[in-house]
């Protein structure tokens, strides 16, 4: 290689290195921004959406790390990492949140779902159409024969929440509070994938199925379900329903779930533009249901769901960011 070629190579290498540095020069944080990539579909999709916007629009580096509600909130409180937890069901971290806000270690950037999260018991719409007098949880007592449990035909089967979730305990106690434990066995599918498969299998065969589920979620976007009415939640009256050893469970309900974007204190103090962006990130339940349904039907990974959202829901997410940031993200998605 001659001297001219060597010089050209050196200049090209220097230009690439400079470009790599300048690509992140505008980010308010000079380290990779850690984003909790939670184990359920909506949280993971939102984590990837925020990651792409931060990288392409704000010139930041990001790092997606595995997370779950309580462990993530705890490490944010104690270590300031990860920087962002995009979807946190706040009722599960009440004490951690109070301590974190008092110490300015963590803060709430905003509500990620405009209508809050929904915990409820459901039946398919085709079953509700066939039995229009089924409207409430209490109504289910006289219809247990429709939901025969193959393991114990004398009772119906109720698909409970997932093992280890706070709602598994609450659903168990609500069953007792409404007296439905006399009519139904509580069945654990074991995992979200298995629960989804059970619901989908019954739905596609137009079979009766009675189950706990949450929204937004792919299942609620894919299939028409009817939410069964419960008594209103009362924090004092229904407190025992949270406890595994509850002796006198009540016929109560689920609290309206406040689902938040949680950030480490450093983001609020050192990255006001990023904090402002995160505070504006908000979804309607129907939008997330449709988005996750697309992901499930196309067997898409979370990153693919995020890219689909950015390309097809520009009217939603461009309201979260300044015009120049939106333009950069749009340009990146056109490649």
**pLDDT higher at 256 or 159:** 159
Task: Tell me the average pLDDT across 36-49.
Answer: 95
Question: Domain 27-114+257-333 class?
Answer: alpha beta
Residue 187 scores a pLDDT above 60: yes
**pLDDT higher at 7 or 42:** 42
Q: What is the DSSP letter of 118?
A: E
**C-alpha of 241 from chain center:** 23
Where in the chain do CATH 3.40.190.100 domains reside?
A: 118-242
When the pLDDT of each residue in the chain is averaged and rounded to a whole number, the result is: 90
d(CA 90, CA 72): 12
Q: What pLDDT is attached to residue 165?
A: 79
**pLDDT higher at 166 or 108:** 108
Residue 24 scores a pLDDT above 70: no
CATH number of 118-242: 3.40.190.100
- Per-residue CA distances from 303 to 97, 201, 286, 335 (Å): 29, 27, 20, 15
**pLDDT higher at 39 or 290:** 290
What confidence tier does 25 reach under pLDDT thresholds 50, 70, 90?
Answer: low
Q: What pLDDT is attached to residue 88?
A: 94
Residue 112 phi/psi, 5-degree rounding, is -75, -30
HSE toward the beta carbon, residue 264, CA cutoff 13 A: 21
Q: What pLDDT is attached to residue 159?
A: 97
- High-pLDDT (> 90) share of the chain, %: 82
Q: What pLDDT is attached to residue 56?
A: 97
Looking at the DSSP bridge assignments, the partners of residue 56 are none
Q: What is the DSSP letter of 296?
A: H
Residue 93 scores a pLDDT above 90: no
Query: The tokens 């509850």 sit on which residue?
Result: 246
Q: Where are the beta strands (DSSP E) in 39-83?
A: 62-67
Task: Tell me the average pLDDT across 166-177.
Answer: 93
Where in the chain do CATH 3.40.190.10 domains reside?
A: 27-114+257-333
Task: Tell me the average pLDDT across 299-314.
Answer: 97
- What's the pTM? 0.80
**Tokens of residue 156, six digits:** 């119906």
Task: Tell me the average pLDDT across 61-81.
Answer: 95
- High-pLDDT (> 70) share of the chain, %: 92
Q: Are 255 and 157 in contact (CB under 8 A)?
A: no
Q: Are 173 and 249 in contact (CB under 8 A)?
A: yes
Q: Are 161 and 254 in contact (CB under 8 A)?
A: no
Q: What pLDDT is attached to residue 257?
A: 86
What confidence tier does 164 reach under pLDDT thresholds 50, 70, 90?
Answer: confident
Residue 109: name the closest of 27, 35, 25 by CA.
35
Q: What is the DSSP letter of 233?
A: P
Neighbours of 169 (CB within 10 A): 19
Q: What pLDDT is attached to residue 6?
A: 38
């Amino acid at each position: 290689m001659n001297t001219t070629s060597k010089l050209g190579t050196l200049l090209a290498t220097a230009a690439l290195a400079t470009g790599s540095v300048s690509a992140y020069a505008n980010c308010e944080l000079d380290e990779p921004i850690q984003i909790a990539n939670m184990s359920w579909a909506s949280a993971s999709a939102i984590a990837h959406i925020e990651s792409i916007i931060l990288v392409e629009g704000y010139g930041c580096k990001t790092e997606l790390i595995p997370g779950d509600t309580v462990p993530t909130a705890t490490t944010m409180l104690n270590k300031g990492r990860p920087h962002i937890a995009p979807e946190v069901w706040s009722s599960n971290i009440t004490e951690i949140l109070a301590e974190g806000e008092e110490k300015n270690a963590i803060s709430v950037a905003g509500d990620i779902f405009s209508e809050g999260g929904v915990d409820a018991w459901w039946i398919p719409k085709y079953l509700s159409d066939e039995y229009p007098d089924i409207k409430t949880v209490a109504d289910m007592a006289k219809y247990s024969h429709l939901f025969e449990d193959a393991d114990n035909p004398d009772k119906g089967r109720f698909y409970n929440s997932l093992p280890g979730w706070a709602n598994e305990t609450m659903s168990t106690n609500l069953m007792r509070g409404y007296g439905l434990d006399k009519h139904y066995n509580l069945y654990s599918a074991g995992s979200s994938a298995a629960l989804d498969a059970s619901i989908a299998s019954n739905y596609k065969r137009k079979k009766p199925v009675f189950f706990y589920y949450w929204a937004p979620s792919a299942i609620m976007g894919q299939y028409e379900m009817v939410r069964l009415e419960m008594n209103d939640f009362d924090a004092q009256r229904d407190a025992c329903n949270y406890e595994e050893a509850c002796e006198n469970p009540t016929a109560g309900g689920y609290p309206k779930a406040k689902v938040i974007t949680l950030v480490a204190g450093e983001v609020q103090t050192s990255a006001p533009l990023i904090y402002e962006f995160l505070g504006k990130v908000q979804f309607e339940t129907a939008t997330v249901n449709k988005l996750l349904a697309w992901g499930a039907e196309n067997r898409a990974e979370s990153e693919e769901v995020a890219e689909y959202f950015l390309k097809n829901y520009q009217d939603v997410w461009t309201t979260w960011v300044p015009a120049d940031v939106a333009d950069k993200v749009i340009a990146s998605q056109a490649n």
